[in-house]
Amino acid sequence: MRMYDLIYKKKNGGKLTKEEIDFIVQGYTKGEIPDYQMSAFLMAVCLKGMDMEETTDLTLSMRDSGETLDMSKIDGVTVDKHSTGGVGDKTSLCLSAMVAACGVPVAKMSGRGLGHTGGTIDKLESIDGFSTSITPEEFFDHVNKNKFALMGQTADLAPADKKIYALRDVTATVDCIPLIASSIMSKKLASGAEAIVLDVKTGSGAFMKTLEDAVTLAEAMVKIGNNAGRETSAVITNMDQPLGRAVGNALEVIEAIDLLKGEGPEDLMDDCLALGSLMLIAGKVAKTKEEAEVMLKATITEKTALKKFADFVEAQGGDQEFVYNTDKFKKATLIDPVPSPVSGYVKSIRADEIGMCSLILGGGRETKESTIDLSVGLILQKKVGDRVEKGETLAYIHSNSKEKTEAAMERFLKAYSFSDEKPEPGKTILAFVAPDGKVTYN
């Protein structure tokens, strides 16, 4: 078998066999296939595509390029949730505690962020002492005791994906649905959860800009998961404006805690209920979405999810007093209002531009070596559909640098557009993809 022949075959629209895909993935991971040939192959996939069988074979080959986690030591059906990423997306923080409080084990592996905000691990490290540097044995023990634990992804988990993604990033081959789906699902399958619920974002602050593309990606990932023997479903959610009001690491953790106290924003709660319902059904503790929503709401009113989150923080070395008293979080030295330039209604908010404001302030990484300032970010006071008067505060910028505040404020104002007529705020939940592939629009 020669790489040249396989590149030629895909360039001409041919279908690759499982053995041919394994030859490519394992050969490249081991360094036997050079970057220039892999780059040519990735571009051929972007131009000619892959069918569902090829995409599944690619995913499983990437999964099998390294270690896989065995969740059999955990009692109950383990359910994992994955988001394709967005601005202000702190859902995992509160959702995991709500689902765990309902008795479904959440064994989550997360990474650090690269882009406008930190990842889940970065956010949680704004709590003094919190650490994800735990062994697999400690991880399993925490889940069995508390129903909820989080550890960092190891380098041995789907190493093919890490190497291939780095190449895609510099060869204009990122925006290809078979490659996106296989990248995400190879890591999820290697993580070992028995059921997977996907949060696929669409809109200005998401990778998939249109609902049609987001549904296509969700369908592909759901098919891959179920073909691999994992019950998989997806929710398509709106990212045409930031989720919630907080953007920035510590600020997002505080907002997630506020939700667990019953004081969170409505769109974040909608996201948690939609995803959480699928997680409870997959975890075999609820039969319908309606039954699951009642259970999830009870974890808020009865404060069981708040306690679950506090226990999770303490189990992983963190100070649980941060959960009960959010004044303990480190605060930015400068908090400045952004005045509205006009009177009217907020017509739209470019979520990606708000994310860039957070990056300017130091809340994200431009490179893997960048250091994140966990205290900075933005708190939005006005969202789509809200009335605003000229000079009224649109948001507060939390910063530790006057120069960064000024740069972020200039960028922020470009993200907002206004109208004289009140627009209809978009729905948070746009569609569902069931394990059988059926798509239901909300």
Residue 314 has, within 13 A of its CA and on its CB side, a CA count of 12
- Among residues 116, 147, 162, 168, which one is catalytic? 168
- Among residues 82, 90, 147, 230, which one is catalytic? 82
C-alpha R_g of the chain:
22
Active site residue 161: yes
- Among residues 183, 186, 191, 358, which one is catalytic? 183
The H or E element that residue 151 is part of is strand 148-152
- Among residues 161, 240, 258, 352, which one is catalytic? 161
Question: What 8-state DSSP symbol labels residue 153?
Answer: P
Active site residue 213: no
Active site residue 63: no
Active site residue 386: no
Between CA 84 and CA 215 the distance in angstroms is 12
Residue 191 CB partners (closer than 8 Å, separation 6+)? 69, 80, 107, 109, 153, 157
| Residues 205 and 241: beta-carbon distance below 8 Å | yes
Residue 264 CB partners (closer than 8 Å, separation 6+)? 94, 244, 255, 256, 258
Between CA 268 and CA 256 the distance in angstroms is 9
Active site residue 187: yes
Rounded to 10°, the helix 289-301/266-282 angle is 120
Between the alpha carbon of residue 178 and those of residues 57, 151, 183, the distances in Å are 11, 27, 8
- Among residues 187, 365, 382, 404, which one is catalytic? 187
The residues annotated with a catalytic role in the active site are 82, 161, 168, 183, 187
